[in-house]
A and B are shown apart, each in its own frame.
Chain A
């Protein structure tokens, strides 16, 4: 019997019993759907993290010193000399200020940063400009703000406030809004406020040290190694206490995230495989029923000259086809489920929005697993059909 004949026979026997075939594959559909939903959710989250972090983030190294003596510009100058692997080293510090318009006042966590900050942290400017080297040098009184701050100050996210002045700090000095940061209510930058770090140090906090330092490594540099040797250098040569300074790379964080996500999907796969196992048993049950019901047909086919292998293949093909159809539905439903879940997450947790991502690998594995289930759980019923005695089965009522 040729493959084409086999498929034709399989189709005609499955389609003649659509309702039962559908109920039988439900277990497989649910199992595959849950795996697909979870893997595409996890994939989507990873993509979101990567996207939000931007292209440079994989090359970013962050440093914190939280002891008595924080990092300052002198430390950065030494580091820049010692480690030419850094393309950029930029310190930021922050402070709380009140910002007010004639009608409204809002509290804001303001970040003091230089001209490199936007590049390193992937901050995108929607309108106007970011902090420039000139702002930094002259300690100009300018602000770059997110849409959320615009909303707080003017009552509307879309208010055109470029060039307007606001009052900042206890002295109510006037600052000019020179840039609007891109990003809606779902992003981290929605409520960001940035001013030149020189301005912040001079006029707001009076502190000349950094809360945090961002380093951007040159391309091709071993970033975790660079972070490690920076840490050692800070402790051994710049007098920081070992437990008061932390240097880490985004790469390490991403690796950690991947490990956690991996463990998570492993657990989900284990749960899903139980449901697939139960689904497989359902398939076997249905195939055994089918074999019994079609005893006469099997006897007829044998009397017409079917070999044992023809009968085995015919029933095996039916069970594989059932599982593959179940898998296909599972992939589709799983992806739809992931879209719904992602939508719910974005409602519950503003600031998180992503599209589920379904890789080709996941699809290929799902299809492979389904075919395997079909073979494993279809084999016994198929053998049972093939071993039937033609005389006995023709007599079967």
Chain B
């Protein structure tokens, strides 16, 4: 079985009017099936850029990103969308629930973009909500009628409902108080027990401590420890195209 994530020397350059900004300068790492990885970094370190690439919302300017062994470089927008719909579940800092829709409807939402038959949707949504421990009496509530902790658990259920290969959480506890955040992290721990692959992005060490392994990102580069000791790529150099010496002048792909 291929690794869920194989990142080979990822570069991401943003072209702005002020000039080119290098958000990622050669990031390489691997996430195995069933692993709970935390990626830590201060703001501006490039972790959001990395998360967008890992979630197939964006493509690297240079380097190779293999998702479940498939190189997504040549995927069309629609193919990437299908990949997101079926293989990736997102959990956002600000929950991003549709406020006027019911809890159940919010969890069903990703299924609308898959081939899941109508009669199975509610069943799967209920199963997902149950696995994050949300009580059934809330299912018909609107999502703006419940607490923040409950909202985030609904969002996790929404990420789970398509049974994805990867759950990608971007600061999932950032908008929650410590106690509620702890509950949400417990939910992730439970998912980890069930064999889910989780990548959690955060800037708080306490939260990263819940993961099996933590990587540190700073100024677009990946480190094994908080200070220094850069992570060396764990792949054969022949697998990947040569990183250009001067990324700024390299061919920019968007």
Q: Please report A residues at the B interface, Cβ cutoff 8 Å.
A: 1-2, 4-5, 9, 12, 16, 296-297, 299-308, 310, 390-391, 394
Contact = CB atoms under 8 A, between A and B. Distances in A.
Contacts of A307: 77-78, 81-82, 113
Contacts of A391: 52, 57-58
A12 B109 CA distance: 13
Contacts of B98: 297, 300
Interface stretch (B34-42, B84-92, B186-194): B84-92
Given A16-B100, A394-B92, A394-B96, A306 B55 contact: no
Interface string B30-56: 000000000000000000000010010
Contacts of B101: 12
B100 A304 contact: no
Contacts of A297: 98
Contacts of B85: 304-306
A128 to B, nearest CB: 72
Given A1-B113, A12-B101, A310-B113, A305 B86 contact: yes
B112 A5 contact: yes
Interface string B55-99: 101100000000000000000011001111110001010001010
A12 to B, nearest CB: 6
Contacts of B114: 305
Given A304-B113, A305-B84, 11 more contacts: A4-B118, A9-B112, A304-B109, A304-B110, A305-B85, A306-B85, A306-B113, A307-B78, A307-B81, A390-B57, A391-B58
Contacts of B100: 12, 16
A52 to B, nearest CB: 57
A307 B115 CA distance: 13
A296 B158 CA distance: 16
A303 B113 contact: no
B169 to A, nearest CB: 13
B96 A300 contact: yes
Given A1-B112, A390-B57, A391-B57, A303 B84 contact: yes
B82 A305 contact: yes
20 contacts: A1-B112, A4-B118, A12-B100, A296-B96, A299-B96, A301-B109, A302-B84, A303-B90, A304-B85, A304-B90, A304-B110, A304-B113, A305-B81, A305-B83, A305-B86, A305-B110, A306-B85, A307-B77, A307-B81, A391-B57
Chain B contact-residue range equals 20 to 34
A303 B55 contact: yes
Given A12-B100, A391-B52, A394-B96, A305 B57 contact: no
A9 B101 CA distance: 10
Majority secondary structure, A binding face: helix
Contacts of B113: 1, 301, 304-307, 310
A305 B80 CA distance: 8
A4 B92 CA distance: 28
A5 B111 CA distance: 11
A308 B84 CA distance: 13
B16 to A, nearest CB: 13
A90 B37 CA distance: 106
Interface string B202-231: 000000000000000000000000000000
Contacts of A4: 118
Nearest to B110: A304
Nearest to B85: A305
Smallest CB-CB A-B distances: 3 pairs: A305-B85, A305-B113, A304-B110
Given A12-B101, A391-B52, A302 B81 contact: yes
B81 A306 contact: yes
B14 to A, nearest CB: 11
Nearest to B113: A305
Nearest to B51: A391
Nearest to A306: B113
Contacts of A12: 100-101, 105
B122 to A, nearest CB: 13
A301 to B, nearest CB: 8
Nearest to B97: A300
Nearest to B56: A303
A308 B78 contact: yes
Contacts of A1: 112-113
Nearest to B53: A391
Contacts of B83: 305
B130 to A, nearest CB: 20
A297 B96 CA distance: 8
Of listed B90, B92, B113, B118, residue having the most chain A CB within 10 A:
B113
Contacts of B58: 391
A4 B108 CA distance: 14
B162 to A, nearest CB: 8
A305 B81 CA distance: 4
